[in-house]
Structure 1
Amino acid sequence: MTDTNADDAHRPLSAHWFRTTEPPRRPVVVTGAFDVLHVGHVRFLQSIAERGLPLAVGIESDERVHAWKGPGRPINPAQERAETVAALSCVTASFVVEGPPGVADWASYAELLRPLAPAALAYTAGDRYAQAKIRGADALNAQAWELPFTPGRSTTAALGRLAHTL
């Protein structure tokens, strides 16, 4: 019998593109849950797009978000999150990141993104994975862009406010 968890740990990440068969070349790439879209997401994505490069947004799969964020998350399924983000005028394309939740190191993301030849990887100030994203950008010969975080605007904060009103 095969140990599924051991096999999963060696399975690479994959991208399933939403509504496109040809991903953009040399985009700025961001990844995240983008579970409940809020103004912090919109400001972040718009500020990237204002720099004039195509923007590709990677949406973490339901399995990955659930493992990282816990019970009850994600609120919205990955395909709907990808569709919602892709509908923003500042976003060129979106894709769902599939793979075992334990595969989250910078080298795995670099391999996933290598075919895009990204110009930059973007993240918000205070991102707990900032150092990994900087290492991934270096491995891809891309820039690492740190953009401002909108204080008090996160999916977790939005869900907390909602819970208090119910």
Structure 2
Amino acid sequence: MDQLRNGDTLVVWKLDRRGRRVKDLLDFAGGLCDGGIDFISLTDAIDTTTASGRFFFKIMASLAQVERELMVERTQAGLRAAREQGRVGGRQRIMTDSKIRSARKLLCEGTPLKEVAKNLGVSVPTLYRWVPASKTGQGFDSVAAVVGARDF
């Protein structure tokens, strides 16, 4: 953009690659026009060197904005529908409730931390995240006292 000078023509592949909102596209085109720079969009067949090209540019900019807003509305509606059906986004938890119970039990029995993590197919930091060490500072030896026997 810094290289463009009066009399130059900026050529883009598609109008919506330059911006989504009509105001942004019109401000951009107005800035080009003020600088004496023409604008051509190859896919949309827009050429602002003519009156009809400028008119068509404004119509296409409006359509690009409407298309973007519809896409956002559809995405939000889909996410709402998924939440109503009980689905949540993101990755599935690697530590299920049964794995957490197993980890606590193994750790209370004295199984080394690395071995428990390997058996459950998780990393040691993941194990720490889901089965934190006791608040007494004695490590995993006293997990049962902190958590309670009912969890086993």
TM-score category, normalised to shorter length: under 0.3
User: Normalising to structure 1: TM-score of the pair?
Assistant: 0.24
Q: Which has the higher contact order (CA 8 A, sep 6+)?
A: 1
Name the structure with the higher strand share: 1
Higher helix share: 2
